[in-house]
């Protein structure tokens, strides 16, 4: 079945550091890929998405590129802020499916 694997956390960085959170997937079809962010005490917010190979999703300085050859969708940001501290979930949905398959989540803490 479909699955998503994220790098294990927690990840702790200093403000203005470069961020990468790795995400790889397995899927039988041609999935859409997503990054969701969950701030403390809140629900999930869609951060960015990509629906086909080589698409780049971007939002709020975050980027991720859909790499079919490596089945990856790594999240990057050039300069993180304290306000980026949250849990980040990589997820996929196979074409025609109604289910989101989530990775285990990566807790990110940014220190000033």
Partner 1 sequence: DTEVTQTPKHLVMGMTNKKSLKCEQHMGHRAMYWYKQKAKKPPELMFVYSYEKLSINESVPSRFSPECPNSSLLNLHLHALQPEDSALYLCASSQDRRLAGIYNEQFFGPGTRLTVL
> Which residues bind to partner 1, rule: CB under 8 A?
32, 34, 36, 42-46, 49, 51, 89, 93, 95-100, 102-105, 107
Q: Which of 20/104 has CB closer to partner 1?
A: 104
48, β-bridge pairs: 35
* Residue closer to partner 1 (CB basis): 11 or 97: 97
Shorter beta-carbon distance to partner 1: residue 18 or 39? 39
Minimum distance of partner 1 from residue 84's CB (angstroms): 19
Minimum CB separation of residue 94 from partner 1 in Å reads 8
Measured from the CB of residue 62, what is the shortest distance to partner 1 in angstroms? 15
Closest CA to 68 of 81, 79, 55: 55
What the block records as the tokens of 84 is 């980026």
Closest to partner 1 by CB, 14 vs 26, is: 26
The DSSP element (H or E) to which 35 belongs, if any, is strand 32-38
SS3 content of the chain, % helix, strand, coil (to 5): 5, 50, 45
Q: How far is CA 23 from CA 7, 19, 38, in A?
A: 7, 13, 17
CB of 30 to partner 1, least distance (A): 10
């Amino acid at each position: 079945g479909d699955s998503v694997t994220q790098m294990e956390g927690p990840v702790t960085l200093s403000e203005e550091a470069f961020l990468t959170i790795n995400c790889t997937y397995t899927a039988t079809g041609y999935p859409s890929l997503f990054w969701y962010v969950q701030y403390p005490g809140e629900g999930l917010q869609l951060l960015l998405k990509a629906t086909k190979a080589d698409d780049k999703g971007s939002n709020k300085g975050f980027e991720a590129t859909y790499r079919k050859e490596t089945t990856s969708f790594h999240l990057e940001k050039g300069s993180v802020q304290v306000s980026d501290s949250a849990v980040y979930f990589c997820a996929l949905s196979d074409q025609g499916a109604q289910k989101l398959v989530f990775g285990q989540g990566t807790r990110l803490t940014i220190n000033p």
